Chain A
Amino acid sequence: MHHNPITIYNLSYRYTDGTQALNSISLSIRATERVALVGANGSGKSTLLMHFNGLISPQVGEVVVGELTVEPQNLKQIRNFVGLVFQNPDDQIFMPTVWEDVSFGLLNQGVRGEELEHRAAHALRSVELDPELFGSRNATGLSGGEKKRVAIAGVLAMQPQVLVLDEPSAQLDPRSRRRLIELLDSLPLTQLIATHDLDLALELCDRTIVLSEGEIVYDGNTHRVMSDPELLERHALESPLSYSRPYCQIEHSP
C-alpha cells in the first residue's frame, strides 16, 4: 500500500477550444482516504478524474500514481492501480452480459481460468449481486441501481488500490442511493468521489476538495466547508440539505 497513492504537481489542462479546465492544481491523496471532489458544472472535476487513470495526459505539471508518473508507457499499470467508475453506467457496461462486462478488465489484465471466475464472482458478490442470478443477464434489462453496481463490480474485479467515482449517485432513486453509500462505505479502498451530492460527500468523506474554474479553492475537512454557506455560494454550490435544516445542523456540527 502506497502512503500517497495519488500526487499531483502543478497540473494544468486546456482543451483545444481554448477552455482552461485545470489551472495549476497540486494535491495529494493519502492511502485509504475518502475524498470528495465538489464543484459546479464545468469546474474541471471530470477532467481531473480522467488524469488519474491516464485517459488524459498532463499538458503541464505531473500526475504520480503509486510510484509511476502518468505517461504512455505506464498506462497499463496505472489503469490496474486506479479504477474509474463513470457517471453513466450505460457508457461503462459495454459487453452484452453482466458476467462478460465484469470479466472484461480481468481479461485485459491477462487473468484466465479459475482465478478469473473467482475474482469476477467475488466482485459481483461484493456489490451484493448474485453471480448466478445476474451473470447471464443482459445489461439492458437492469435497473439504474443494478447497473451502477455492475459498473463498480467491473472495476473492483481488477483489484485497484484507488477507486475514482464520477457522480456515483446521479440518476439513482433514494433507496439505490442509500445502498450505494453503504457499499462505498464498506469498501476498504482509497476513494475519490466527484459529486454534486453534498449529502453523500458529508456522509462518506472526511476530506473535501472544492474546485472552481479549474482551481482548488478549498481542501480540508468536509464538515467545515459544508458549514460555510458563503464559500459554497461563491463557487455556485449550496449547503447540503442536512445542514440547511436546523435540527440536522446540531447533529453535524464539527
Chain B
Amino acid sequence: MLLHLGAVLLATESQTNTIWTRLTARSRLLCTLLIVFATALTPNGRWWTWAMYAIAIALLILISRVPLLPLLKRVAVELVFVSVVLIGTLFRQGGDVLFQWGWIQITTEGLTVLGSVTLKAFLSLLTVNVLILTTSITALLHALAELRTPPLLVAIFSSMYRYINVLVDEFNSMQRAARSRNLMSDPRRQRTVIGNMIGSLFIRTYERGDRVHQAMLARGYSGLPPVAKMPQPSRLDIALLTLTIVILLIGQAIYL
C-alpha cells in the first residue's frame, strides 16, 4: 500500500486480461504474501531455494504481463531505501576475514548475509510491485478487508491513499507562499521554514482528520468501513494458490 503512495507517478496499473488479473484481488494478495513470507523467512545462504523462487517470480512477471520498465524503476527506487539497512549487514562478524581496515572487517559471513538479505529484499519487492502494478488500490483495500485485516487499519490505508495528494498540494501551496515572500532564498532559514511548514501541515492534517470523521459520521459511519460485495474464488484461484504453496514447499524441501 505504501509503495502505491510512494510511486504515484510510476503507477501504470495494468488492465490486461491475463491469468493473474483474472484471479480475485484476494487471491493475488494471498499469493504475494505467501511468496514474500517464504522468501524472507528462508535462512541465509539457501541460494537454490531463492533460485527456485526467482524462477517462479519470473514466471509470474511473464504471465501477468507487467511492463518491465516501470517495474524495475519502482524496485530500483525502493532498493535505495532498503540499501541503508543492507550496508549494516556487510560488517557482520564470523567466518574468514576478507578485508580489514582498522576495526572495520568484511568477512565471508558478512558477505553471505549481505547477499542473502539483498536477494530477499529484491525478490520480495519484485513480487509486491507485480501485485501493485496489476491491482487497483480499491481492489487491494477490499482484499485486505476480506482477509480480515483490522477494519480500522484498512480505513487508515484508504484515507492515506485518498489524502496524500491533498496534503502534497497543501505543502506545495505553503512552499509557494514562503517563496513568494523570499523566505526560501536564505539557505540557513530554509530548514526552520520547512520545519514550521511540516508542523503546520501536521496541525492542518489533524484538523482535517476531525472534519473527515464528522463527514463520515454524518453518513452513518459507525466505526467499521462497509464492504460492498465479496467475489467468490474460482477454480483458477484455488489452482494458482495451490501451485504457489507447492512451489514454496519444494523450495524449502531442497535443504532438508
List A residues at the B interface (Cβ < 8 Å): 50, 53, 55, 76, 79-80, 83-84, 86, 88, 90-97, 100, 103-105, 107-109, 112-113, 116, 139-140, 154-155, 158
Contact = CB atoms under 8 A, between A and B. Distances in A.
B220 A76 contact: yes
B166 interface: yes
A140 B169 CA distance: 10
B158 interface: yes
Contact of A91 (B138, B161, B211, B220): B211
B158 A95 contact: yes
A109 B226 CA distance: 10
A79 B227 CA distance: 20
Contact of B211 (A86, A97, A139): A86
B203 interface: no
A108 B161 contact: no
Contact of B215 (A91, A108, A109): A91
Nearest to B216: A94
B166 A155 contact: no
B141, B158, B226 — most chain A CB neighbours (10 Å):
B226
Contact of A55 (B141, B212, B218, B228): B218
Given A79-B217, A116-B228, A140-B165, 19 more contacts: A79-B219, A84-B218, A88-B211, A91-B212, A91-B215, A93-B162, A94-B158, A95-B158, A100-B138, A104-B226, A108-B219, A108-B220, A108-B222, A108-B226, A112-B228, A112-B229, A113-B229, A140-B166, A158-B219
B191 interface: no
B185 interface: no
B138 A107 contact: no
18 contacts: A79-B217, A79-B220, A83-B219, A88-B211, A90-B166, A91-B211, A91-B214, A92-B212, A92-B215, A94-B158, A94-B163, A94-B215, A95-B162, A96-B138, A105-B219, A107-B228, A112-B229, A116-B228
A148 to B, nearest CB: 13
A104 B162 CA distance: 14
A2 B62 CA distance: 62
A154 B165 CA distance: 21
Contacts of A88: 211
Given A108-B226, A139-B162, A140-B166, A55 B219 contact: no
Contacts of B141: 96
Contact of A53 (B159, B165, B218, B222): B218
B218 A104 contact: no
A154 B166 CA distance: 20
B221 interface: yes
Contacts of B189: none
B137, B158, B163, B219 — most chain A CB neighbours (10 Å):
B219
B46 interface: no
B214 A94 contact: no
B167 to A, nearest CB: 10
A142 to B, nearest CB: 11
A86 B217 CA distance: 12
A97 B158 CA distance: 10
Contact of A108 (B137, B158, B166, B221): B221
B218 A79 contact: yes
Contacts of A55: 214, 217-218
A107 B221 CA distance: 9
B219 A86 contact: no
Interface in B82-121: none
B138 A80 contact: no
Contacts of B208: 90-91
Contacts of A116: 228
B230 to A, nearest CB: 11
A46 to B, nearest CB: 10
B219 A104 contact: yes
Nearest to B214: A55
The list of the 5 closest CB pairs from A to B, nearest first, reads: A107-B226, A108-B220, A105-B219, A91-B211, A84-B218
Nearest to B222: A108
A93 B212 CA distance: 8
A94 B166 contact: no
Nearest to B211: A91
A93 B161 CA distance: 12
Interface in B160-188: 161-163, 165-166
A53, A92, A97, A158 — most chain B CB neighbours (10 Å):
A92
A79 B216 CA distance: 11
